[in-house]
């Protein structure tokens, strides 16, 4: 407020020119102060970097970022780089009549680049750096028309669009132009090379196209840096480009350029960098390449160059990095490179090269050697003379060639080797135990060779190994238990060998494992149960082995594809459809009744009273067990809560403190981070604490939900997860929540973001205004109750939301009427889906305790350890919800000394032919009875005891659509 006021006064003063010019020198000084104060008033300075700028000062010369001329004391330079300033550039700067250098790079200034103030400033300056801001729009033609004495202009890394104006050619004083990393398009002005003072021009990373102007390029005597990379330029390079004799760096990579390398390039004896990567250049490498004596970096990769290498390569004695990959070069590697003593990286991969590995490959102190995808032959040897590379080489890629012989033991001497790939060759012999000496190795790939013998136990010495691939060899013996020492292993591929023995139990300690393929071996024994603890697993393929015993259940193994375990004749478990001898007896609830299975799921016929009775009795028993279990678990959870309450309270306090939510800091390690998928993260704070008790919207098994508003006025619902001690690690949580955040459907509540600390986790959800279905069904009076049409739409919307979840392979796990919200247009939105995946493992006890509040909706298979939980458990919950919608009754209602289980009650009434009796009384007579009965039947089928008898959600949607339009010919729903 204060600063705004001052700014307003200052502006007033500024605009009254007469007052100012009436005074003399003093006022002239104040001119700079005023100008800068106005400038400051228009920008945001979140870190108070400009706090030394005070309007009461006589002179701004001591201010941060300000440079004055020592004689006149007038401001000549302003350097405010990287201060996180934002806002617009205001008129104030025009006041600084002697400003010649303005550097505002790496801030958040925005606005049209064609803003007249900016144009004026650029005209009057010599050096302008506005790079890495948010300026947008196209560069105005007038900008360069009277460009005065500008020497350097950088507008790099903004959001500029449109063409580079022709007028730029008239700015003859220009020396350095950097317009890189914008979205500029179109061709270059034909006369651009009239800019004979140019020393560097960088137009990289734009969408510029057309040919590179040739006219007068030879007059750029002073040009040193020429960067046109990552554009859409086509045609050939200007023939005379090499006449710019001072060129040090030439980069035309990633364009569509054609032709050969112009002859004139040979004159660039001062050039350090030549990058032509990723074009369509063709032809042979000329002998004159050796005259580029200063070259340190040469990249000709991804072109159509062909022919063999000229011997003159060896004259490039300063060469450090050479990349010739992905061309059609033939012949041998040049022996002469042995003279390039400073060479560190060579990449010849994916050409048609032949011959053997030259001695220099290991005798120079190289860091990287890549020869993959050629036709090299011979053995791989690291002799005495290679000692030089033993402590330097980090990358060795010899894959996909025809190398033969054994892998030398001395490979273990490469103490810096990070990446070793010798796959797809004809290597024989054994896997050298010395691999254990590769202390720095991340990747070892020896797959698809003819290696035999066993995997050496010494492999455990390679403690940083991330990826080990030995598949497609003839390895025998067992997997060494020492593999456990490779504690950061993510990928372990040993498929297609002849490996025997059992899978070492200690493999379960490799918690980072993501991808494991042991298929096509002769592994025996059983799978360790603890494998389910590997929470990062994405694939675990043990198919085509001789494994036996029970498949682990839980975690990744709940959803393991059949193809990953198939062809292990003695493996049992529900996934391979083979019951385990002596496994837990099947609970009685799931004994499929013959009359049920006869009819199948497509028949909506309902069964006899006798069966119903038994099932309902069982459900009642099940319910009682759930309640008891729930009570115990809740007690335990409460104990946990008490312990953690003090910790989370500290954090919660800082939330209500009034800080910006996204900047909340707390001295403890509880400091967390807010992630919004939808962009806007500014919460209204101060007046409203984020988790304000008065704004509580509801409570569920997973936590309490609060309402709050974003700064732009939009409401969101914040769910404070309440699962002490059960939450996953930060990484797992991030991953799972992001997965849920990507699910978007008009019948699903959008997950907008989250906040995580070890003791506090918040989920930020779309706010749905009209409350839950539960509230509408059970808490309203009969006046404002949902009409039949509205109820039907809610059922259909819920079905669509669930079907989408299932398409995205997400199981809701917690279907109930409190989790179906209704928005202001009456549309149903399913919320709280997949929250179970945020818990460390899909442990059934945890599951049933978390959703015990959803009593009555819980599918019977949750009580049964041996049955896999599938999306059919949601169909069950949906079925119960349908009955609830039609009857207006809760799934389980407690009478004085009786428990009424809704679906049993409905079955009974329906069987008795009195269906209309169970329809919600609040609907009065205002419902089509045929439609109601069909919906009830659908609900009952969805709530079948046996999961396979329930339809899937896509079928449910089709049936509902048929029910709604009976005229369009449907199967009789009898
Ligand atoms: C610019 O603002 C965005 C958000 O508006 C922020 O994420 C970014 O860090 C800021 N950049 C700088 C350089 O301050
Ligand atoms: C090799 O590199 C060193 C150190 O960077 C440098 O002094 C030397 O001049 C280089 N040799 C050649 C031939 O460029
Ligand atoms: C694997 O071992 C068996 C005998 O143990 C042998 O018959 C078979 O040829 C071997 N297969 C391979 C691919 O080495």
What mean pLDDT comes out for the span 127-141?
Answer: 93
- Residue 636 carries which DSSP code? H
Are the beta carbons of 393 and 416 closer than 8 angstroms? yes
Region 570-580: mean pLDDT is 82
Of 127, 153, 186, which one is at a domain's C-terminal end? 186
Secondary structure of 818-885 in the HEC alphabet? HHEEECCCCCEEECCCCHHHHCCCCCHHHHHHHCHHHCCCCCHHHHCCCCCCCCHHHHHHHHHHHHHH
What distance in angstroms lies between residue 346's CA and the mean position of ligand 2's atoms? 17
Mean pLDDT of 461-487: 95
Indicate whether 686 and 730 sit together in one domain.
Answer: yes
Q: Which ligand is nearest to the CA of 295?
A: 2
- For residue 653, pLDDT beyond 80: no
Looking at residue 741, which CATH number applies to its domain? 3.30.200.20
Closest Cα partner for 935 from 913, 961, 968? 961
Statement: residue 618 has pLDDT above 90: no
Residue 894 has pLDDT above 80, yes or no: no
How far is it, in rounded angstroms, from Cα 422 to Cα 451? 11
- As annotated, the binding site includes 720
Ligand nearest to the CA of 663: 1
For 402-427, what is the mean pLDDT? 95
Does residue 613 surpass a pLDDT of 80? Answer: no
Query: Ligand 1 site: residues with CB under 6 angstroms?
Result: 84, 106-108
- Cα(271) to ligand 2 centroid in Å equals 15
What tokens does 527 get?
């799978």
Domain membership flag for residue 650: no
Residue 593 within any structural domain of the chain: no
Name the binding residues for ATP. 720
Domain co-membership, 747 together with 788 = no
Rounded to the nearest angstrom, the distance between the alpha carbon of 338 and the centre of ligand 2 is 15
Distance separating alpha carbons of residues 857 and 622, to the nearest angstrom: 12
Question: Is residue 403 domain-resident?
Answer: no
318 lines ligand 2 (CB under 6 A): yes
pLDDT of residue 515: 95
474 with 498: CB under 8 angstroms? yes
Distance from C-alpha of 292 to C-alpha of 298, rounded to nearest angstrom: 10
Beta-carbon neighbour count of residue 207 at 10 Å? Answer: 13
Ligand 2 neighbourhood includes 294 CB (under 6 angstroms): no
Span 240-253, average pLDDT? 96
Contact in structure between 84 and 108 (CB atoms under 8 Å):
yes
Strand, helix or coil at 359?
A: coil
Domain tally, the chain: 3
Angle at alpha carbon of residue 79, lines to 74 and 80, rounded to 5°: 125
pLDDT for 16 beyond 60 = no
806 and 934 housed in the same domain: yes
CA of 83 to the centre of ligand 1 (A): 10
Report CA(349)–ligand 2 centroid distance (Å). 26
Which of 180-184, 732-736, 792-796 shows the highest mean pLDDT? 180-184
CA distance 719 to 717: 6
Q: Yes or no: say if 419 and 395 are a contact pair by the CB < 8 Å rule.
A: yes
Residue nearest to ligand 2 atom 1, measured at CA: 342
Q: Which residues of 916-939 are buried (b: 16+ CB within 10 A; e: fewer)?
A: eebbbebbeeebeeebbbbbbbbb
Residue 602 lies in a domain: no
3-state secondary structure of 434: helix
Q: Is the CB of 317 under 6 A from ligand 2?
A: yes
Residue 620 predicted with pLDDT over 80: no
Query: Which of 480-484, 570-574, 642-646 has the largest mean confidence?
Result: 480-484
Mean pLDDT in residue range 772-780: 86
Give the distance (Å) from ligand 3 centre to CA of residue 570. Answer: 21
Percent of the chain exceeding pLDDT 70 equals 81
Q: Whole-angstrom Cα distance, residue 774 to residue 769?
A: 14
| CATH number of domain containing 943 | 1.10.510.10
Same domain, 739 and 850: no
> For ligand 2, what atom is nearest to the CA of residue 318?
14
Domain assignment present for 494: no
Distance from Cα 344 to the centre of ligand 2, integer Å: 12
* 79 plus 126 within the same structural domain: yes
| Kind plus residue range of the DSSP H or E element containing 902 | helix 902-911
Confidence at residue 750, expressed as pLDDT on a 0 to 100 scale: 87
Output the residue whose Cα is nearest ligand 3's atom 4: 498
> What is the CB < 6 Å shell around ligand 3?
474, 498
Bridging pattern class, strands 570-572 and 548-550: parallel
In this prediction, residue 648 carries a pLDDT of: 33
Query: Which residue, judged by its Cα, is nearest atom 4 of ligand 2?
Result: 342
The reply to whether ligand 2 has any atom less than 6 angstroms from the CB of 342 is: yes
Same domain, 677 and 740: yes
Residue 137 belongs to domain with CATH number: 3.80.10.10
User: Contact at 8 Å (CB) between 127 and 100?
Assistant: yes
Among protein residues, the one with the nearest Cα to ligand 1's atom 2 is 108
833 CA → ligand 1 middle, Å: 33
What pLDDT digit, counting tens, does each position of 357-390 carry?
A: 998 999 999 999 999 999 999 999 887 766 788 9
Counting atoms of ligand 3 from 1, which one is nearest the CA of 474? 14
pLDDT in tens, 828-846: 999 888 877 776 655 555 5
Distance CA 563, CA 469 (A): 21
> What single string gives the DSSP state of each residue in 703-762?
EEEEEEEBTTS-EEEEEEE--TTT---HHHHHHHHHHHHT---TTB--EEEEEE-SS-EE
Residue 207's nearest CA partner among 233, 237, 226 is: 233
Give yes or no: residues 763 and 783 share one domain: no
- The alpha carbon of 126 and the centre of ligand 1 are apart by a number of angstroms equal to 28
Tell whether 944 is covered by a domain. yes
Question: Does 758 share its domain with 790?
Answer: no
Phi then psi for residue 741, to 5 deg, are -70, -20
pLDDT at 597: 35
Q: What is the pLDDT of residue 675?
A: 75
Q: Is the pLDDT of residue 65 over 70?
A: yes
Domain boundary among 748, 767, 786: 767
Report the pLDDT value the prediction gives residue 196, as an integer from 0 to 100.
92
The 3-state secondary structure of 929-945 reads HHHHHHHHHHHHHHCCC
Q: Which of 132, 156, 186 is at the close of a domain?
A: 186
Among 272, 316, 322, 342, name the best residue to mutate to test ligand 2's pocket (greatest count of ligand atoms within 8 A of Cβ).
342
Residue 136 and residue 179 in one domain? yes
Ligand having the closest approach to the CA of 674:
1
Shared-domain flag, residues 763 and 776: no
Residue 919: the pLDDT is 87
Q: What is the pLDDT of residue 545?
A: 95
H or E element that contains 225? strand 225-227
Residue from 498, 519, 545 whose mutation best tests the ligand 3 pocket (most atoms within 8 A of CB): 498
Is the same domain home to 731 and 684? Answer: yes
Considering every ligand atom shown, identify the ligand nearest to the alpha carbon of residue 341 and give its number: 2
The maximal CA–CA distance of the chain, rounded, in angstroms, is 108
Testing ligand 2's pocket by substitution, the residue of 269, 294, 318 carrying the most ligand atoms inside 8 A of its CB is 318
In tens, the pLDDT along 908-922 reads 888 888 888 888 888
Domain membership flag for residue 269: no
Whether 534 contacts 513, CB under 8 Å:
yes
Reported as a pLDDT band with limits 50, 70 and 90, residue 966 is low
Sign of the C-alpha dihedral, residues 497, 500, 503, 505? negative
What does the pLDDT read at residue 860? 78
- Ligand 3 atom index nearest CA of 452: 14
Contact 791, 886 (CB under 8 A): yes
Nearest CA to ligand 1 atom 14: 84
Report whether pLDDT(193) > 60. yes
Atom of ligand 1 nearest to the CA of 85: 14
**Among 917, 853, 861, 865, CA closest to 889:** 917
Does residue 606 contact residue 940 with C-beta atoms inside 8 Å? yes
Token pair 């930060």 is found at 730
Per-residue pLDDT tens digits for 257-306: 999 999 999 999 999 999 999 999 999 999 999 999 999 999 999 999 99
CA of 498 to the centre of ligand 3 (A): 6
Q: For a pLDDT cut of 90, what percent of the chain falls above it?
A: 49
Structure tokens at 186: 């179109």
Return mean pLDDT, the chain.
82
Question: How many residues are there in the chain?
Answer: 974
- Per-residue confidence band for 104, with pLDDT thresholds at 50, 70 and 90: very high
* Domain span holding position 967: 770-974
Residue 582, both tokens = 């002596």
- Position 733 in a domain: yes
pLDDT confidence of residue 676: 75
One domain for residues 694 and 821: no
């Amino acid at each position: 407020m204060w600063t705004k006021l001052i700014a307003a006064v200052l502006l007033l003063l500024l605009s009254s020119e007469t007052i100012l010019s009436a005074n003399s020198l003093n006022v002239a000084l104040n001119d700079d102060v005023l100008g800068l104060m106005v400038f400051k008033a228009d920008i945001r300075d979140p870190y108070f970097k400009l706090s030394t700028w005070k309007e009461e000062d006589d002179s701004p010369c001591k201010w941060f970022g300000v440079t004055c001329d020592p004689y006149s004391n007038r401001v000549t330079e302003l350097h405010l780089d990287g201060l996180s300033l934002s806002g617009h550039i205001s008129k104030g700067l025009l006041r600084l009549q002697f400003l010649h250098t303005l550097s505002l790079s790496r801030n958040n200034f925005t606005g049209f680049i064609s803003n007249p103030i900016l144009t004026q400033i650029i005209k009057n300056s010599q050096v302008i750096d506005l790079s890495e801001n948010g300026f947008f729009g196209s560069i105005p033609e007038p900008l360069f028309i009277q460009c005065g004495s500008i020497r350097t202009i950088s507008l790099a890394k903004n959001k500029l669009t449109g063409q580079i104006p022709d007028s730029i050619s008239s700015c003859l004083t220009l020396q350095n132009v950097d317009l890189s990393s914008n979205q500029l398009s179109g061709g270059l002005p034909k006369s651009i090379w009239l800019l004979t003072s140019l020393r560097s021009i960088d137009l990289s990373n734009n969408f510029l196209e057309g040919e590179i102007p040739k006219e007068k390029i030879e007059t750029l005597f002073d040009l040193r840096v020429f960067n046109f990379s990552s554009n859409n330029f086509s045609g050939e390079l200007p023939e005379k480009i090499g006449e710019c004799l001072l060129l040090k760096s030439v980069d035309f990579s990633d364009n569509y350029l054609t032709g050969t390398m112009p002859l004139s390039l040979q004159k660039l004896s001062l050039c350090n960098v030549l990058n032509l990567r990723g074009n369509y250049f063709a032809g042979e490498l000329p002998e004159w390449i050796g005259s580029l004596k200063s070259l340190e970096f040469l990249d000709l990769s991804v072109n159509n160059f062909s022919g063999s290498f000229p011997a003159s390569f060896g004259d490039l004695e300063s060469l450090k990095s050479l990349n010739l990959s992905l061309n059609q070069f033939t012949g041998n590697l040049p022996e002469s490179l042995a003279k390039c003593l400073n060479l560190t990286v060579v990449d010849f991969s994916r050409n048609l090269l032949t011959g053997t590995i030259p001695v220099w490959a290991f005798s120079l102190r190289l860091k990287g050697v890549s020869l993959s995808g050629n036709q090299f032959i011979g053995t791989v040897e690291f002799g005495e003379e290679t000692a030089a590379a033993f402590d330097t080489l980090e990358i060795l890629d010899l894959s996909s060639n025809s190398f033969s012989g054994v892998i030398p033991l001395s490979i273990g001497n490469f103490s810096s080797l990070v990446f070793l790939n010798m796959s797809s060759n004809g290597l024989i012999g054994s896997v050298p135990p010395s691999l254990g000496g590769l202390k720095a190795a991340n990747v070892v790939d020896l797959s698809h060779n003819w290696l035999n013998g066993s995997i050496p136990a010494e492999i455990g010495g390679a403690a940083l190994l991330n990826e080990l691939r030995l598949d497609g060899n003839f390895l025998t013996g067992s997997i060494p238990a020492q593999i456990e020492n490779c504690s950061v292993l993510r990928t372990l591929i040993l498929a297609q060998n002849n490996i025997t023995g059992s899978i070492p139990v200690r493999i379960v300690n490799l918690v980072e494992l993501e991808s494991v393929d042991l298929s096509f071996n002769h592994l025996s024994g059983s799978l360790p149960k603890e494998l389910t603890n590997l929470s990062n697993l994405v694939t675990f393929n043990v198919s085509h082995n001789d494994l036996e015993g029970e498949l682990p259940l839980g975690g990744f193994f709940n959803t393991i594809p059949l193809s990953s375990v198939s062809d292990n004749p003695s493996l049992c478990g529900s996934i391979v459809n083979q019951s385990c001898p002596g496994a837990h007896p099947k609970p009685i609830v799931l004994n499929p009744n013959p009359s049920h299975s006869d009819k199948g799921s497509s028949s909506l016929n309902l069964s006899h009273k006798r069966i119903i009775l038994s099932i309902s009795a069982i459900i009642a028993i099940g319910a009682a067990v759930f309640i008891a279990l729930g009570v115990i678990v809740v007690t335990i959870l409460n104990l946990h809560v008490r312990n953690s309450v003090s910790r989370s309270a500290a954090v919660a306090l800082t939330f209500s403190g009034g800080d910006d939510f996204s900047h909340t800091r707390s001295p403890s390690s509880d400091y967390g981070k807010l992630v919004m998928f939808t962009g806007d993260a500014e919460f209204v704070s101060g007046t409203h604490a984020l988790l304000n008790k008065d704004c509580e919207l509801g409570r569920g098994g997973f936590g309490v939900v609060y309402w709050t508003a974003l700064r732009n006025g939009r409401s969101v619902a914040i769910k404070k997860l309440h699962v002490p001690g059960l939450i996953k690690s930060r990484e797992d949580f991030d991953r799972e929540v992001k997965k849920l955040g990507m699910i978007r459907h008009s019948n699903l509540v959008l997950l907008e973001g989250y906040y995580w600390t070890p003791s506090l986790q918040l989920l930020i959800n779309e706010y749905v205004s009209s409350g839950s279905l539960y509230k509408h069904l059970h808490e309203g009076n009969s006046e404002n109750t949902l009409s039949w049409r509205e109820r039907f739409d809610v059922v259909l919307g819920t079905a669509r939301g669930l079907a989408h979840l299932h398409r995205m392979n997400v199981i809701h796990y917690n279907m109930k009427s409190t989790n179906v919200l209704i928005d202001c247009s009456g549309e149903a939105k399913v919320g709280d889906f997949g929250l179970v995946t945020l818990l460390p493992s899909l442990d059934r006890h945890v599951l049933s305790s978390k959703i015990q509040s959803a009593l009555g909706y819980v599918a019977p298979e949750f009580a049964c350890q041996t049955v896999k939980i599938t999306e059919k458990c949601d169909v069950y919950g949906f079925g119960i919800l349908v009955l609830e919608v039609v009857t207006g009754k809760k799934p389980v209602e407690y009478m004085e000394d009786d428990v009424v289980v809704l679906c049993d009650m409905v079955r009974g009434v329906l069987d008795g032919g009195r269906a209309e009796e169970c329809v919600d009384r609040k609907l009065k007579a205002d419902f089509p009875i045929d439609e109601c009965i069909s919906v009830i039947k659908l609900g009952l089928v969805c709530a079948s005891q046996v999961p396979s008898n329930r339809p899937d959600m896509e079928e449910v949607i089709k049936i509902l659509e048929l029910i709604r339009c009976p005229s369009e010919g449907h199967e009789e729903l009898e």
